[in-house]
Amino acid sequence: MPFVDQIILYGSLSVVGLGKNTGKTECLRYVLGRLSEMKKVVAVTSIGIDGERVDQVTSTPKPEIYLEKGTYFTTAASFYLKKRFRAEICQVDEGGTVFGKMITARALERGKMILAGPSDTDVLQQWVRQTPQRFPVDVCLVDGAISRLSPASPVVTRSMILATGAAYSANIRTLVERTRYVYDTVSLPLAEEGVRKKLEHITQGIRLISETGEITDPGVGSALVPDQVRDLTGTCGNGLYVPGVLSNALLKGLSERKEAGETRLYIRDFTRIFAEPGVFYSFLRKGGRIFQLFATRLLAICVNPVSPEGYRLNSAELVLAMQHAVEVPVYDIKRIEK
């Protein structure tokens, strides 16, 4: 995979699936294997639970995660105790989870491991930042999640791989369109540094932003009802910061403004967008702009043409259609040549 060299340059990577059985774990396994071949020291953890033999939701087989000798890994104590290979504990975090305290260890031999790491964005950010400072690690890998229910964001890493596939949609055209929408949200531009620094610590309540970058608080919460949307969009001016969810109603209200083409909308990151694709693209077509405070570099999209229900898409056709829709490399992880 040509972009493995880029992963090393960025130093941290999230592997994120658009849904279950889209090939996320296979992609993570491939990256782990390639980095091991390159003699790079890796630290790995997971936002959710990964490495189980059977999916607890779909009851379908899952690819297991093998850690090579020398790999650092962070997982919950209950899963650490179930491992069947030798490892040395390097750190035990005081903050616990429902699965026990977080343990960071180094594998002393190759073995299978279930990963269940931090499920909070702030804790995960600390892990990505502090792990290379504490241990001789070249790359931090995070088994990510793009689910709207996940409290952790893949934006905590500097780079990202997106996994999509037949389990997400059995129709190539629909799959490409859905994936392209996520690609476009991930690729939204980063806010200018001055505005970003003023807003990054504001996590609640709408803010108005003047042309000169002045920030004012209109006293309106982030979770807006339709009447508030109408009132706000009539008085907000052209700069608006929404630290919470970017709802369909709010984006539609902004699109319907006479000044829609002059609107500058700021969000924390792409995972906050809950708008329908049609509303999202309508806003952009009218000239509206959306900026992220925190962004990650999407390095590639990996496709899985096989669904657990048994249907299979044509791999070459899927890769070609997806590649025409996005501007990053697209791979079928099972057919990739090293």
The chain-wide mean pLDDT, for the chain, equals 87
For residues 130 and 210, membership in a common domain is answered with no
Q: Which residue has the tokens 């709207």?
A: 148
Query: Is 205 in the same domain as 280?
Result: yes
CATH number, residue 282: 3.40.140
Say yes or no: 267 and 288 in one domain: yes
Residues 49 and 117 in one domain: yes
What pLDDT, in 10s, does the model give residues 104-125?
999 999 999 999 888 788 888 9
Does 13 share its domain with 103? yes
Query: Exposure of 258 by Cβ count < 10 A (0-12 exposed, 13-18 middle, 19+ buried)?
Result: exposed
DSSP symbol at 63? P
* 203 domain residue, yes or no: yes
Q: How many residues does the chain have?
A: 338
pLDDT the model gives residue 105: 97
Cβ partners under 8 Å of residue 132, min gap 6 = 11, 43, 138, 140
115 and 20 part of one domain: yes
328 shares its domain with 202 = no
The answer to whether residue 165 sits within a structural domain is yes
Looking at the fold, whether 122 and 201 belong to one and the same domain comes out as no
Per-residue model confidence as pLDDT tens digits over 56-65: 445 555 678 9
Distance of CA 230 to CAs 227, 252, 256, 284, 288, Å? Answer: 5, 10, 10, 19, 17
260 inside domain: yes
178, 168 contact by CB (below 8 A) = yes
Specify if 19 maps to a domain. Answer: yes
Asked if 229 and 251 sit in the same domain, the reply is yes
Q: What is the pLDDT of residues 192-229, one digit of tens each?
A: 999 999 999 999 888 988 888 889 888 877 656 656 76
Specify whether 165 is located in the same domain as 197: no
> Do both 256 and 309 map to the same domain?
no
Give phi and psi for 94, each to the nearest 5: -65, -40
Say if 149 falls within a structural domain: yes
Nearest by Cα to 125 from 110, 98, 144, 101: 144
What CATH number is associated with residue 322? Answer: 3.40.50
Q: Does 337 fall in a domain?
A: no
Domain carrying residue 205? 193-292
pLDDT at 52 over 90: no
Query: Number of folded domains in the chain?
Result: 2
Domain-embedded: residue 157: yes
Residue 338: inside a domain, yes or no? no
Long-range contacts of 277-280 (CB under 8 A, 24+ apart): 277/177, 277/181, 279/248, 279/251, 279/252, 279/255, 280/181, 280/184, 280/185, 280/251
